[in-house]
Amino acid sequence: MLPRYEPRGVEERWQETWEAEGLYNADPDPSRTPYVDAHPPPNVTGELHTGHALQLAIGDTVIRMKRMQGFNTLFQPGYDHAGISTQNVVENVLLAEGTSRQELGREAFEERVWAWLHEYGGKILVQFRRMGASLDYRRTRFTMDDEYVRAVMHFFVHLYRRGWIYRANRIINWCPHHETSLSDLELEHHDVDDTLSTIRYPLADGDGYIAIATVRPATIPADVAVAVHPDDDRYTHLIGREVIVPWVERRVPVIADERVEREFGTGALKITPGHDPTDFAIGRDHGLPEPSCIGPDGRVTAEGLEGLTQKEAEERILDWVKERGQLEGRKHYRHSVAVCERCKTRIEPRISLQWWCAMDEIKQPALQALRERKIVFHPESQHRFAIDSLENAPDWNISRQIWWGHQIPVWTCPDGHLTVEEETPPACAECGSTELTRETDVLDTWFSSALWPFATLGWPEETDDLAYFYPGHLQTTAREIIRLWENRMIFSGLELLGEIPFSDIVIHTTVLARDGRRMSKSLKTGIDPLELIEQYGTDATRYGLMKNSLTQDVRFSDSALEEGSKLSNKLWNAARLIVTACGGAAPAERPSSLEERWILARLSQVQREVERLLGEFDFAHTMDELYHLTFDDFCDWYLEAIKVRLYDGDAGARATATAALERLLKLLHPVMPHVTEEIWSYLPGRRTRLIVAPWPEAGDESEAGALERVQDLAQMFRRSGIVPALEGEERRIFNAVVKPERAKVTGNADAERERLRNEIARAEAMLANDRYVQNAPAEVVAAEREKLERYLRELDAIGD
RNA sequence: GGGCGGUUAGCUCAGCUGGGAGAGCACCUGCCUUACACGCAGGGGGUCGCAGGUUCGAGCCCUGCACCGCCCACCA
């Protein structure tokens, strides 16, 4: 064993061994209790980032503890086809080749995607292995697997037959680059510098004008009205009259609607139902037409402006308006604008025929389960948010006009009858026509994600896996995914299987870049976990990531990983001492001395604490406990105290030391699996791998404080140089650890006496305060008295 | 514009139901003590964002303010 622990090589070796020996495998076994974490499937085109790494560390730590505790653990791996995202990647490849998906056609394009995926996709699972994640890789699922596709089709047909899926023409978010609809949740909002133009619309009867403010003059050709607030005195006399829309010179009415903000702009709003969500809502309520002047590609279609970009059309229209003296002014205006989260193209609100899933009924059981806390969020504060967002969830736009994904299983005959089946039907269900054409839209990626916890287990087939492993337990995810995914898994699970898919949701925090900004590829602020692993090792990276973050988003800091690195090295060297000194001493807890009873009690105490903390998914404090147990208690006190006895060949000390080390390794294994397994392999009499070794029984902890007095006096000795009056075992331990004959004292006795006298004076003053003694709880006062007595005794021990 | 979280040592963060301000890193001092110098021992350093209030006692509770971050949101 080398003096310095070197994770490189060791970690890969154990990762391969564990997997090869089948120790990650989970199979139904009625004699054991399952524990399941269906790990969030990353995008098939993705690469490991810090969020994944943290998520894996958290999930794997819990899974490893549960596995040692005897649960039949299933840590489910897989990846997601990520519709738009993947299509985007492959389209970029095509672009570089000078072609496009339109040129290839749909079938050839899909083949290209598959080909690309076979070559480059799914590599992220290789990176998952480097995090030491004990996923059952045999069970890797992909949301485009044949079985999974069948599950998605089944889900769609199920919802359709329930009457919850319908088709409707509504205004939706349209990405002109991908030429598809997007749900509200797939947008980002960016602040942009824009120009607000004030334009006069002349009254049709030639008597003055009404001025409106707009940031999008290019949509003027599709205006169908001008709206004002019903109580706006400036305009009430104009309601019901008509104005003339510039450029197209069409007469449209002035209407009244409360949704118009009187304070904004001129207080008059041009109504363009075809290109603005608010206008669309107002237009529907007033029964207005819904013309369009912008095509799916974002270019203008209005007469006289065909094929122009919106920018060009805007200039033409503004010139037109200016020539006629109708341009009242233009001013700088900064506001937030929706963009496609994938390509950052500005969203074009557009009326389009889409498939929807009605939410009213399907969400009710989920809301009830959440309100009854059958699912617990960690931290608790996210619980309210989950309920609120589900309560307010609008109908779900589930169709996308892209090519990569699950094609909607709806067929139409020439008469327009719809046939909805899981597999291609032979003929129209209504008229028997065999001339069927399939719906070209695909489903929203999250539609298939919603099935992850049970489609991975074979649903809709009634498999043994499903019966045994469903419902699961743990779910780890980021905050922004709650509405997109968590809520949808919950209502789908309840609807299809009648049970919640998991019991605990850990919302981990966002790790920010070193400078406090968000990690992002485009800003180049990202931190590559593989580089961290290269530098610190997997164990240290796991430790460092979990040490960070609890309630608030936290900046990435290397010092936490360095700490992890030190911990693994410290553990390694402690083991080296015990292994070399004890040789093949069989581990046995037979404490014959105070420090041995103490360390065993401390191990039990910390174990209970770790069990409690991990039960609450409090990872940062778990790291803290383990670090101090290892450094302060195990190494600096216990090992220092028994070192000499180990060298002297004391059989009891050797057996106990080996046993204590075993317990320490077990406590650390869930967090630092590799270094602990490596050390474990050096210990005598090994029967099983540590990964599947039984979690220890926490024992008696009554002597966990037994060394406190010696520790206090040792510190005092180092400050004052005065050897305290200690006897028996306490004297022996003091001499073994502190070595008075060799220790150089840095402080002095006078300073120590001074410190104690000050403490005594403070305590006496507190106890002399009547209001304190009368009002403070009795135990607080009693504790103060004890402290005073202790100070007096210590002062006595070093001589006044 | 809503909702949530934050503001504690030079840096990154802990401080559980109010009871003598903590950790790791960095810094200073002493030690190459035969497990580990990624070590051991000791130390310096903080009006706990600001202003009020409740209390015998406030980092923690209440009110107001100021910054910072995240999520959400149809003022064109």
The integer distance in angstroms from the CA atom of A748 to the C1' atom of B28 is 18
Q: Does residue A595 register a pLDDT over 90?
A: yes
Of the candidates A342, A405, A439, A422, which has an alpha carbon nearest to the alpha carbon of residue A110? A405
* Mean pLDDT calculated for residue range A363-386: 88
- Interatomic distance A576 CA / B35 C1' (Å): 6
Residue A774, both tokens: 């009368």
The set of strand B positions with any atom below 7 Å of a protein CB reads 3-6, 11-15, 19-20, 23-25, 29-31, 33, 35-43, 55-57, 68-76
B71 C1' to A568 CA distance, Å: 37
Shortest-distance nucleotide from A265 CA to C1': B76
CA of A763 to C1' of B53 (A): 28
Which nucleotide is closest to A276, CA to C1'? B74
Whole-number average pLDDT of chain A? 88
CA of A757 to C1' of B54 (A): 34
Report the share of chain A in percent with pLDDT over 70: 97
Q: How many C-alpha atoms does A502 have within 13 Å on its Cβ side?
A: 28
Q: Note the CA–C1' distance, A720 to B43, in angstroms.
A: 14
Average pLDDT over residues A732-754: 79
pLDDT at A523: 61
First-to-final CA distance of chain A: 50
From A185, A187, A173, select the one nearest A449 (Cα to Cα): A185
Which of A770 and A642 is assigned the larger pLDDT? Answer: A642
pLDDT greater than 90 at residue A180: no
Please return the burial class of A730, using the count of CB atoms within 10 Å of its CB with bins 0-12, 13-18 and 19+: middle
Nucleotide nearest to A562 (CA to C1'): B38
Q: What is the pLDDT of residue A747?
A: 65
With beta carbons less than 8 A apart as the criterion, state whether A160 and A88 touch: no
**Burial category of A535 from C-beta neighbours within 10 Å (exposed 0-12, middle 13-18, buried 19 and up):** middle
One-character DSSP codes across A713-773: HHHHHHHH-PPP---HHHHHHHHHHH-TTTPPP-S-HHHHHHHHHHHHHHHHHHHH-HHHH
Is residue A35 pLDDT above 90, yes or no?
yes
Separation between the CA of A262 and the C1’ of B75 (whole angstroms): 9
Encode pLDDT of A744-780 as tens digits.
Answer: 666 677 778 877 888 888 888 888 888 888 888 888 8
Q: Report pLDDT for A621.
A: 93
Two tokens at A335? 């506001």
Q: What is the pLDDT of residue A192?
A: 77
CB neighbour list of residue A4: distance below 8 Å, 6 or more residues apart: A569, A572
Which residue has the least CA–C1' distance to nucleotide B76? A214
**pLDDT value of residue A65:** 97
Distance of alpha carbon A257 from alpha carbon A229, whole angstroms: 5
Closest CA to A252 of A202, A303, A295: A202
What are the pLDDT digits (tens) for A120-178? 888 889 999 999 999 999 999 999 999 999 999 999 999 999 999 999 888 888 888 88
User: Residue A362 CA to chain centroid, in angstroms?
Assistant: 25
Is pLDDT larger for residue A70 or for residue A800? A70
Contact A156, A38 (CB under 8 A): no
Closest amino acid to nucleotide B40 (CA–C1'):
A636
Is the CB of residue A222 less than 8 Å from the CB of residue A274? yes
pLDDT at A524: 67
Lookup: tokens for A337? 């604008």
Nearest nucleotide from residue A742 CA, by C1' atom = B33
Question: Helices marked H in A220-272 — which ranges?
Answer: none
Strands (E), A383-515: 396-397, 399-400, 410-412, 418-420, 437-438, 442-443, 474-478, 504-508, 511-512
Count of beta carbons in the 10 Å neighbourhood of residue A725: 12
Residue A394 has pLDDT above 70, yes or no: yes
> A274: closest CA among A300, A243, A313, A305?
A300
Check: CB of residue A209 under 8 Å from CB of residue A328: no
Secondary structure letter of residue A593 according to DSSP: S
Q: Does position A374 have pLDDT exceeding 80, yes or no?
A: yes
**A640: pLDDT strictly greater than 80:** yes
Closest by CA position to A324, among listed A226, A234, A215, A249: A249
Residue type (1 letter), A622: T
CB A673 within 8 A of CB A612: no
8 Å CB contact between A36 and A27: no
Find the length of chain A.
800
At which residue do the structure tokens 């919640």 appear?
Answer: A500
Q: Where are the alpha helices (DSSP H) in A121-145?
A: 124-130
Give me the pLDDT at residue A570, please: 96
Query: Whole-model pTM?
Result: 0.90
Instruction: Give the pLDDT confidence score for residue A776 in this predicted structure.
Output: 84
Q: Does A179 have pLDDT greater than 90?
A: no
Q: What is the per-residue pLDDT for A552?
A: 67
Question: CA–C1' distance A421–B54 (Å)?
Answer: 68
Residues A657-686: pLDDT tens digits?
999 999 999 999 999 999 999 999 999 876
Q: Among A57-61, A167-171, A335-339, A536-540, which is the least confidently predicted range?
A: A335-339
- pLDDT confidence tier of residue A385, bands split at 50, 70 and 90: confident
pLDDT at A326 over 70: yes
**pLDDT 10s digits, A572-593:** 999 999 999 988 788 889 899 9
Tens-place pLDDT, residues A524-568: 667 888 999 999 999 999 999 998 766 667 778 888 999 999 999
Give the nucleotide nearest to A761 (CA→C1'): B20
Residue (of A609, A563, A608, A542) closest to A64 by Cα position: A542
How far is the C-alpha of A269 from the C-alpha of A278, rounded, in Å?
A: 10
Minimal CA–CA distance to A765: which of A739, A743, A787, A741? A787
